Every structure is written in C-alpha cells, then in structure tokens.
Chain A
Amino acid sequence: MNFDPRFSGRKFASVGTRPIRPDGVDKVTGRARYGADFNMAGQLVGRVLRSPHAHAKILKIDTSKAEKLAGVKAVITAADLPDLTDGDAAMYDVLDNCMARSKALYDGHAVAAVAAVDARTARQALKLIEVDYELLPHVTDVDEAMKHTAPLINDTIFTEGLEEKPVKPSNVTKRSQFGHGDVHQGFGHADFIVERSFKTEQTHQGYIEPHACVANVSSDGTADLWVCTQGHFVYRQHCAQLLGLEASKLRVTSSEIGGGFGGKTHVWAEPVALALSRKAGRPVKLVMTRDEVFRASGPTSATSIDVKIGARKDGTITAAEATLRYSSGPYAGTWAEIGAMTAFACYKLDNVKTVGYEVLVNRPKTAAYRAPSAPMAAFAVESAVDELAKELGMDPVEFRIKNAAQEGTRSSYGPVYGPIGIGPTLEAAKTHPHMKAPLGKNQGRGMACGFWFNFGGQTCVDLNIGMDGSVSLAVGTVDVGGSRASLSLVAAEELGIDYAQLKAVVADTSSLGYNDMTDGSRGTFSSSMATISAARNAIKILRDRAAQMWDIPVDDVIWENGHAIAKGEKYGNLAALSLKEIAAASGKTGGPIAGHSELVADGAGVSFATHICDIEVDPETGAARVIRYTVIQDAGKAVHPTYVEGQYQGGAAQGIGWALNEEYIYGKDGRLQNAGFLDYRIPVCSDLPMIDTQILEIPNPNHPYGVRGVGETSIVPPLAAIANAMSNAAGVRMTHIPMSPPRVLAAIEAEREGRA
C-alpha cells in the first residue's frame, strides 16, 4: 500500500477531544464480557494441578484414580501436549511452562490438568492425581543463582555471549554488552565518582482479572477459543503450533481484558484448556485462581545492579558503567539485555558500558511488565545520578539537563538519536510549580527520568460504511485502556464525520488479518496508522462513487469535511454529497463501501518522561506515603487526552507500588509465601494522592498525526523518584526495592547509630 506515514501537521477537529468511550456503557452496567464471563453449552470446568516444589524431577504421574472419579471427563499431562515445536527453543519453553515435562521448575508449575462436570469434582480429581517427585536443590535469588556452587536449573545451558566458549553449564544463559568510548579513561577524568549496588524484588503485573478462557476443539480439526489476552492473533499462532492445529481453523476471540500490562502477552493455560477440550470432546472453561496467577503467571525480573558514574566538577558526566543481573525464571530470557540497553538512554555520554546477565532461577517464567526491565535499571541509574548531583552540589534537575541526551547524541544502546523529548520534560519539570512547593517535616522531594523504546508492528484494520452512513471500524489490537475511543476519533478525523457516527470493535482472528499484540505501547500508535490508511482507502471509493453519481471524472472530486465536492467552476451548481448520501446510493454505484489496510507500523520513536514526587516518612515505623506526584511525558499527539492522562497516572501508581510495597517473598523451601492480594499489597485508593499530569506534544515525525505510544514509560521513573525523595525526607539512601517499612526503618536506625 502506498501509505505515507510522515507527520503532516494538519489541524484537528476530532483528535484531541475527550468523548465517552464506545465500550463505556457496557462497562459501567456490568454487561461487558471479560474472560470468565462467557460460557458455552455443555462446557466443563478445567483445573490445573501445580507443583508444590521449587525444583523436582517428575518420576511418575498416576492419573488413574482421577480418571475413574464420576464426572471427570478428561485428565491430561505433558503426554497430551507432545512437543511439536520443531526446534523452536522459545516455543518449547512456552510449552514446558504450560505443562511441566520432566521437571517441575518452580512452585506453581503445572504438572497435570482435569476437566470435570463442575468445579467441586474437578478439585476432587486434582487430589486423586498422584505425582512422584524427586526433590532437587533449588535457587530463587538472582545473585545466588550466579554462583558456581548454585544448583543448576538446566544443565544443557552454556552462557552465550562470552568471548571464550564456556566448558561448564551455568544458570547464566547469556551475557550482553552495550556502550561506546572507554569508561576506564572516562573515570580517569572524573572529579567525583559514585559507585553503588542495588537490588529490586520481583513484582507482578497485578491485573485484577485472572487469566480465563473457554476452549472448544471439534473432532474435525476446527476450534474456538474465547480468552482474555493482549494479542489474540499471537495466542492463535502459539496455540495452533502447540496443539498441532491449522491456525486459520482456530478462531480466537478476545474478550474484554481486565488488565494485562505485559502479563497477557503469551499463553499459559490456553493450550491446556484446548488439550482438555480435545480429549473430553466438550468445551472447557479454565479460570485461574488469584493464587495461581501469582504463582504461575506474570512476574517481572528480580534484579541486582551495580552502577558507577563519574563527573567533572562542572557537572559533566565523564563515564558511566553498569552491570545488570536479571532473573528470567527457569527459562532463558532477554530481560537484562533490555535493562542494559535502557539504563543510560537518557544521557549524553562519551564513555558508557553496560553488561547484562540473564539468570535462571526457580521462579515463574518472567513475563513482560510495562516497559519491561527499564524501571529497575532506571532505579539504579537515577539513584546514582541523584547521589552524584548531591556530591557535586548541583540541583538534580540542572545536573540532568546538563547531561541530557539530545538530537545527535549517540545513545547508550548504540544509534544516534533523532529529535527526542528528554530535554523538554526536564525543562517542564524545572519550571513546574510542584518543584517550588513548600515541604513539611519528614517530607522530601525527589525526581527522576525514564526512557522506553516504543514499538509498532503488524497491523490490520477494516473500515466498513453502512448504507445508513454509519461506520464500523474493526481493529485487531486488543483495547487495554480506551483505544477504541482513540481509534474512533482518528477515523472520524480522517473521514470528516462525527465521532458518534462510528463504532469501533475488536475483531476476532477469523474476521481480520493478522495483528501483533497490544504491547510496546503500540495499540493506538499502530492501529491509528492503519485506521488512517483504511479511511483514506475508503475515501478513494467514496470519491469514485460520487463521481459516478454526478457522472464526472473522479479526479474532479475531492473529499472535505465528510463530503465529496466537485472541484472547479463548471460544477458550481453541484451540491456537495455527504458520506451518508453516497452510502445510501452505494447499492447502485458498485456495492458496499469499505476501506482496508494492512501495514507494518514502524518508526514509533523512543519515549521519555520526568517524574516529580513528594513523600512523607514516619521515622518511627519507616512507613512512607506519597503526598504529591507529577508526571511529565511526551505524547507526540494526545489523541484522547483523558486516556493519555490515565496511562500516565496508572503507570505511576504501579511504580509507586513497586517502590514501596510489592515483592514476591520466597521461603527457604522455595515456595512463594504471599500469593494473594492481602500479602502482596498493591496500592489502594487511600495510599495515593491525586497524580498530576503534564502532556507534552512534540510530534512524532513518523506518524501522520504525530502520535507516539504512551502506555509504558510512566512506570520507569517512579522507583528512583521515590528513592530520591526518601533520601531527602529521611536522610537514607535506599538501595533495595521495595522500600518497605522494615527496610526503611532499618536504614534509618543504622543511620542514627552511624551518627551516634
């Protein structure tokens, strides 16, 4: 398709307004259907048996008693999900994660599953499955797992990326390195050097909706899957590959999704539900419990990061170095690599080096979590940058402005930047009233910057014009937070019609071409590009139909404000034809009118944010609360500003939870101790203040409207912003996230003792 994605600088009528979302009424009346809200006639209840052990060989699974229980219709183990991955190592890991094969690799790893007539029978059946385990030594801590003495999780893994090929297997699956210049020389030119080590604990995306699906496999090789997912086309590919189905015969419908944040980007229970359905010959509904969500889905990496930054007296950073160790669960990942790429991306550095180590541990398989890997790296780097500013006696904002990356700067991950938005967010922070507001006792202010790569990807949109002139927009990117409203605005803008004339839906996999999933902040960026393209294709047809109605050459017809207009003096007496009029006549001018678009949206452009936060610390308990918070971020162009603000606020809140409370706590036995919302405490309403937002609009040159992704970056700065505020409020530099009350209190007491 000849689609020109370049920014055109047009004036907007619809884009930038704040209408009510098209799926809104269903969501406030309880009518919207999420993963668990759908049922098929004759469906069974699926349940999964999970390993209680962190690391164990599976010697034998005896399902015979469970199979004999009245009401049980199918019992499956790994044998029912044979390896069809044909050497695709990443998919093999997904398969093994869905159903353990020879070893259980973490507490919560699926080992068998049942489908029964009701939940009680299914639960009883799980108790009748006998699994013989041979317990193996386990390791859950990222630093411990790197030691030579650590138990090996997978003895076929030899570290990739080392200069010399290793002779022994290791829990370190990969080493990666980024940077340029000579850090050794750079540190030689520094007057001040800050060098610190940091740890961050593992957190969960914490979506309120547990994974849920209904699967129905027919004996003719066709199948249906209803599921909450960030990418139903991706789920279709995965499930088809793992089950040996033909992709086009598996129709996947994405339900409304009750939060994902990266945690619903690859399959967990869906292949299991399909395998159960295939064996039972009936539909199977499988819904995870919250305990299962924590133990077996999601989480992000736990990390251990060393940072060293040096600067001259004048505030110029001369060198920066970081070593980043990220846990990836029991399967290889690339999480440290992303951390190593993003760590210093905000800064202009002549000498920079980052090294990442991917580390296997007996914890659930790490999944993406909103700007995956960036928040931990930013926590370490932005904490050290703040310390360095203090040593230099410089204002932390001024210090960052002095060293901020700009157009033409070589990024720490390699390429030279085009026009970027870190500088404007810092300048906005500098002049923001929040920076000058007075602080009370035990209160402190901190700020930090954040960076994230945004993505585009494969995208497909259908725009159909009804004979009454109403427009339906079918998109393939799952709407995780209001994108149907944004995309309707974009279609209205392009067609020149009213927002209310449109209805956007997320189409199932049989109704639309392939779409990558909604990740990498790509939903609105990519699908708006495809929507613009589809609308322009529809306009071509509308012009052609108007030309037919007028019996004039199509080249003489232009499209303006929702109308075909005959151009030129000679047509002076032809009244403009509205979209409605052209649609009404469509049956006689060539049939239905539609615009389609299939494209790869690329050029999303990198994203930056600066956050400011005030906290108050209780020196007696170590409890901290955020009392004021400001997010400043570039949106390129905010299509629906209210939902952009929502993304900023939501990301900040997740970051605040990560900074202060949230962590996976493992016992010595390698079992997760806090697999529930009571003990894994995400922020509640009374924990937070209002979260102020400032949207900057620096157009993205690679999008017709200048749009950038906005979903992820806002989770990157909060960890450091709060740690920096903590340093100013309580006089302690916290290097271990979360800064839970016991950790803060211990630091305050150590500080007091140190002074005494």
Chain B
Amino acid sequence: MVEVTLWGALGQLAGGQSKVEVEAKDIRELFRKLAEQYPGIEPWIEKGIAVAIDGTIYRDTWSKELPQGAEIFLLPRLAGG
C-alpha cells in the first residue's frame, strides 16, 4: 500500500482528498487503480501525469517501481522549451 499525494485539481476529482492510499507496485498499476477508483482522473492520465518518487520526477517510465514508504506525489505534466 502506498500513499499518493494529489495536486489540487486532481484532488477535486478524487472526492476532495489530497491523499489517497493505493495498493500498487509500479506507476502503471497506480494509474490503473486510480482510474478504477476515481474515473474522473482517467482523462488526466491519458493527457499525462508526472509522478514524483522521493522527489525524482518520472513522466513516462510506467514500469518504475514504487518502493514501500516512498513519498509518491502526482504532478501535472509540463512543457519545456
């Protein structure tokens, strides 16, 4: 079970929660379960959500494992120059 912090807009889609608990071993499973529990989040996952694991931001490595006790933080996917 990992605790996942959602940013503002995403929290609204998860019934106003800023933190949710999800049983997930990697980013792919996390996204799948989030979409199951909170269907409103699914289009955001489609558009792209970045996942910070202990401060390091992952944008596309859905196979990245979520270590027990790690801080998991979801962020909007950003554009660069």
Contacts and interface: CB of A to CB of B under 8 A. Distances in A.
Contact of A265 (B52, B60, B81): B81
Contacts of B7: 176, 178, 414
A368 B8 contact: no
A122 to B, nearest CB: 32
Interface string B1-23: 00001011100100000000000
A413 B52 CA distance: 11
Contacts of A262: 79-81
Interface string B48-81: 0000101111111100100000010101101111
Contacts of B79: 262, 265, 334, 338, 368, 372, 519-520
A372 B81 CA distance: 6
A411 B78 contact: no
A345 to B, nearest CB: 12
Chain B CB within 10 Å, residue with most, of A163, A415, A521, A605: A415
A161 interface: yes
A371 interface: yes
B71 A416 contact: yes
B8 A176 contact: yes
A341 interface: yes
Contacts of B81: 205, 261-262, 265, 368-372, 519-520, 711-712
A125 B61 CA distance: 50
Contact of A415 (B8, B52, B64): B52
Contacts of A368: 79-81
A205 B81 CA distance: 10
B55 A458 contact: no
A457 interface: yes
B9 A602 contact: no
A161 B8 CA distance: 8
B78 A416 contact: no
A630 B77 CA distance: 32
Given A417-B55, A602-B64, A522 B8 contact: no
Nearest to A266: B79
A523 B18 CA distance: 34
Contact of B8 (A177, A454, A520): A177
B56 A418 contact: yes
A160 interface: yes
A702 B52 CA distance: 13
Contacts of B60: 456-458, 600, 602
Interface string A495-536: 000000000000000000000000111100000000000000
Contact of A457 (B55, B56, B59): B59
B71 to A, nearest CB: 5
A337 B73 CA distance: 16
Interface residues of B, number: 23
B59 A416 contact: no
B71 A602 contact: no
A605 B59 CA distance: 12
What bracket does the count of chain A residues touching chain B fall in? 35 or more
A523 to B, nearest CB: 11
Contacts of B73: 414-415
Contact of B56 (A176, A522, A702): A702
A479 to B, nearest CB: 16
A160 B9 contact: yes
A119 B30 CA distance: 56
Given A334-B76, A371-B81, A519-B79, A453 B57 contact: yes
Interface in A422-460: 453-458
Nearest to A205: B81
B78 to A, nearest CB: 5
B53 to A, nearest CB: 8
Chain B CB within 10 Å, residue with most, of A369, A414, A712: A414
Contacts of A324: none
B80 A519 contact: yes
A520 B9 contact: no
B58 A415 contact: no
Contacts of A178: 7-8
Nearest to B16: A163
A207 B5 CA distance: 40
B54 to A, nearest CB: 6
B19 to A, nearest CB: 11
A498 to B, nearest CB: 34
Interface in A516-575: 519-522
A27 B68 CA distance: 52
A453 B78 CA distance: 9
Contacts of A605: 56
A603 B58 contact: yes
B80 A603 contact: no
Contacts of A265: 79, 81
Contacts of A160: 9
Contacts of B76: 176, 334, 337, 341
A604 interface: yes
Nearest to A712: B81
B80 A521 contact: yes
A702 B55 CA distance: 12
A227 B56 CA distance: 34
B78 A602 contact: no
Contact of B61 (A176, A411, A600): A600
A455 B59 contact: yes
A456 B57 CA distance: 10
A370 B57 CA distance: 19
Contacts of B57: 415, 453, 602-604, 606
Contacts of A522: 80
B18 to A, nearest CB: 10
Nearest to A337: B76
Given A265-B81, A369-B81, A521-B80, A414 B75 contact: yes
B80 A415 contact: no
Contacts of A369: 81
A338 B50 CA distance: 13
A712 B71 contact: no
Contacts of A416: 54-55, 71
Chain A CB within 10 Å, residue with most, of B54, B55, B57: B55
Contacts of B5: 414-415
Contacts of B75: 341, 413-415
B13 to A, nearest CB: 11
Chain B CB within 10 Å, residue with most, of A178, A334, A417, A600: A600
A262 B79 CA distance: 9
A747 to B, nearest CB: 30
Contacts of B78: 334, 338, 341, 453, 455, 520
Contacts of A415: 5, 52, 54-55, 57, 71, 73, 75
A177 B11 CA distance: 11
A622 to B, nearest CB: 30
Given A371-B81, A372-B80, A414-B73, 11 more contacts: A176-B8, A262-B79, A369-B81, A411-B55, A414-B52, A415-B5, A519-B79, A602-B58, A602-B60, A602-B61, A702-B56
Which 8 pairs across A and B sit closest by C-beta, in order of nearness? A520-B80, A262-B81, A415-B52, A415-B73, A418-B55, A370-B81, A519-B80, A368-B81
12 contacts: A341-B75, A368-B81, A414-B7, A415-B52, A415-B55, A455-B59, A457-B59, A457-B60, A458-B60, A522-B80, A600-B61, A712-B80
Interface of A: 160-161, 163, 176-178, 205, 261-262, 265, 334, 337-338, 341, 368-372, 411, 413-418, 453-458, 519-522, 600, 602-606, 702, 711-712
